[in-house]
Structure 1
């Protein structure tokens, strides 16, 4: 079965890469790169239609999973697959229009709610919440609302953090790789389940899409994924989360793994810790200022890392480091069945991440230069002067 997942991920990566090359050429030929905005970090107009290529990669991966593997039960999973295709098509359509025309935030939010609602209506929803070795089952209406809220939250959290070259693609690779590992461990423990396989399929697909697009998006990016790509990644991550959360019966687990019943809830939050933190801070900041929570500004976490003196690449790697540390610590709860080693990893990794975050390399170079231990080039001097201002 692992080969089937690898095949799907490879198809997604290959098709996304080929489509990205084609979309980039067409964008340059038709001059589809938008004008620079005040909050943008890049300095030259850059196409934002990479999400189109990622959507094509997703479509190819779904076809490959259905035709060439046994990962999809064509009878039982067909409605969910069609629902995912419809929801992703809606998100892609609105995302493309927004990347080209800059749509009103209310219209984008309405499309996100409609896409999440379509998925919840077709059964991709939280049906219960694990608690100990039992399940807490709420009303169908509450489950529906909770699912739509969760999916919309994750989509916007991922989209909010998309502000630096390679940031969302790299975080998606790390987060979904960890989530995929978790699904395989969970499948080995429970003997396999359709919802777990489906979650693993979505995670593998996202990894493939992100891997195929990252070469075009790495610093200095030739193309951005735009709202289309970021919202697609967020939606698929939410789908994989919901496919496990609330559909795993803790009673099917070894009773030594009581903590594991909480992992479907904890792990998605852990792998999205940085995007969710950025989203929460942005919403609170804008509401306090009397603005729309979806209005754009230049005070996201990645902007603050740049203002601290980190280069764009350093800021991206800091996000990678935090995501990997939090995800690994959470995953260890499942594998070790205790909180001791996860706490050790979290404490040690947290200190390391804080040191890296709070010690910008440019300031270290400036300190060494002031003491005659290093000579900066003209471009580095110019960068230092800009940061000092």
Structure 2
């Protein structure tokens, strides 16, 4: 645990300094994008914060490869470097979009390129969790395509939810923290395996990088993470999920209570349930209007909360709470009996649903009374 925390601290310090440097450079060079009608800010702000997050990830990964305990992850394993190569590509694509506003299909091609780099040279999905038995994928082509598809989907999910100051970084910290604790717990409690784990390391570094970035991005934001930061977070989260999924046949998750065969694939979807929900709703909404699924609008979850009457900060905190319920509720299946977890999560979600809708309920009652 100590080494993982040290890697997270390294990522946080470097990310904080790197984001500060990107902020200064962006302001000095006036690398701004015009304010759009759907934007929630009113001042020109640089969107190069993803460079700071990447700096934290890069330095911490290199340090980890030469550090006690966690360096065993890199022994005879090209996975971390394949993920780093994909990260370099997606950050480059994101920066180009943040500065030049490239066409959506060009950005999608860049996402696919980064995802395929990870799937070919980094990590890939070899098992599809299923009940009663997992499905093992023999075809490398199928493994690569499924992995790339998962990575692209996750990158867009995180990118879609990045609409309020501190939102995407906070969701990544909460979701990544839940993922980290579960992956660490599973390895720590299995005496037959090396306790070092790539998924746990990736989540420690990701959480640290986002912690270092968040002070610059908290409302009112001084810099945005932009597409480069949001897509990097999605790539790292999906890659960690692929690593966890590949461990189904190893016996690592046999000690998990409840539904062990689906716990690994449940992790990334649980911690990213809110962004994935927002992504799905956006695709359905835009397709129904005859628009491209990648076209922008002002119909995301965070926009709806602000329209309900929540302040900027209140809307962000509200989505933080929802992320806690869904993320920690999802990973609780690896620790507690699923029946108990299900009851607690449903109860918490119902209470939170009433709290979230309270401004609308209050306004409706007030209008009815008048």
Summarize the alignment of residues 278-293 of structure 1 with structure 2, pairs less than 5 Å apart. 278-293=278-293
Which segments of 5 or more consecutive residues in structure 1 lack a partner in the other structure?
372-389
1:223 is aligned to 2:226: no
Residue 173 of structure 1 corresponds to 173
Q: Is the 8 A contact 2:175 2:272 kept in 1?
A: yes
Partner of 2:264: 264
- Count of aligned residue pairs for this structure pair: 365
Change (3 A) 1:75 1:328: closer
Distance 2:82 2:271 in 1: 25
Rounded Cα–Cα distance in structure 2 between residues aligned with 1:59 and 1:252: 28
Q: By how many angstroms is 1:324 displaced? A: 0.4
The answer for the alignment partner of 1:352 in structure 2 is 351
Rounded to whole Å, the distance in 2 between the matches of 1:194 and 1:103 is 44
The answer to whether residue 331 in structure 2 is matched with residue 326 in structure 1 is no
| Conservation of the 8 A alpha-carbon contact between 2:23 and 2:223 | yes
Tell me the residue number matched to 1:381.
none
Alpha-carbon offset, residue 257 of structure 1: 3.7
1:206 lines up with 2:185 in the alignment:
no
Q: Which whole-Å CA distance do the structure 1 matches of 2:48 and 2:311 have between them? A: 25
Is 2:294 the counterpart of 1:298?
no
Q: What per-residue deviation string (whole Å, max 9, x for no partner) do you get for residues 57-98 of structure 1?
A: 111111110122331334312x22221221111111111111
Q: Distance in 1 between matches of 2:296 and 2:196?
A: 37
Stretch of structure 1 that moved more, 197-206 or 323-332: 323-332
Partner of 1:144: 144
Deviations 1:292-338 (A, max 9, x none): 111111111111111111111111111111110112222222212x2
Deviations along 1:4-58, one digit per CA (max 9) or x if unpaired, are 1011100100001011111111222222222211110011111110001111111
Following TM superposition, the consecutive aligned residue runs of length 4 or more in structure 1 with deviations greater than 6 angstroms are 361-364
Change in Cα spacing, 1:123 to 1:169, as seen in structure 2 (3 Å) is: closer
Aligned residue for 1:249, secondary structure, equals helix
Residue 164 of structure 1 deviates from its aligned partner by 0.2
Instruction: Give the CA deviation at 1:193.
Output: 5.0
The alignment status of 1:69 with 2:68, answered yes or no, reads yes
Find out whether 1:186 has 2:189 as its counterpart: no
Query: Structure 1 residue 105 and structure 2 residue 118: aligned?
Result: no
Deviation at 1:352, TM superposition (A): 2.3
User: Is residue 44 of structure 1 aligned with residue 43 of structure 2?
Assistant: yes
Question: Superposition pairs for residues 22-33 of structure 1, below 5 Å?
Answer: 22-33=21-32
- When residues 115 and 193 of structure 1 are mapped into structure 2, their CA distance, relative to the original with a 3 A threshold, is farther
Kept in 2, the 8 Å contact 1:195–1:243? The answer is no
Following superposition, the deviation at residue 196 of structure 1 comes to: 6.9
Report the Cα distance in structure 2 between the residues aligned to 1:143 and 1:19, rounded to whole angstroms.
Answer: 35
Alpha-carbon contact 1:17-1:213 (below 8 Å) kept: yes
- Residue 120 of structure 2 corresponds to residue 121 of structure 1: yes
* Bigger radius of gyration: 1
Determine if the alignment matches structure 1 residue 238 to structure 2 residue 238: yes
How far apart in 2 are the matches of 1:35 and 1:330?
39
CA–CA distance in 1 between the matches of 2:79 and 2:24? Answer: 34
Question: Per-residue deviation at 1:233?
Answer: 0.4
Partners in 2 of 1:249 and 1:196 — Cα distance?
17
Q: Secondary structure at the match of 2:292?
A: coil
The residue number in structure 2 matching 1:314 is 314
Q: How far apart in 2 are the matches of 1:68 and 1:196?
A: 12
Secondary structure of residue in 2 paired with 1:165 = coil
Question: Are the counterparts in 2 of residues 318 and 356 from structure 1 also a CA contact under 8 Å?
Answer: no
Alpha-carbon separation, structure 1, partners of 2:194 and 2:114: 22
Q: Which runs of 5+ in 2 are unaligned?
A: none
Judged with a 3 Å threshold, the aligned counterparts in structure 2 of structure 1 residues 273 and 252 are, in CA distance, closer, same or farther, namely: closer
SS at match of 1:67: coil
What is the DSSP-based 3-state SS (H/G/I as helix, E as strand, rest coil) of the residue aligned with 1:72?
helix
| Aligned partner of residue 65 in structure 2, secondary structure | helix
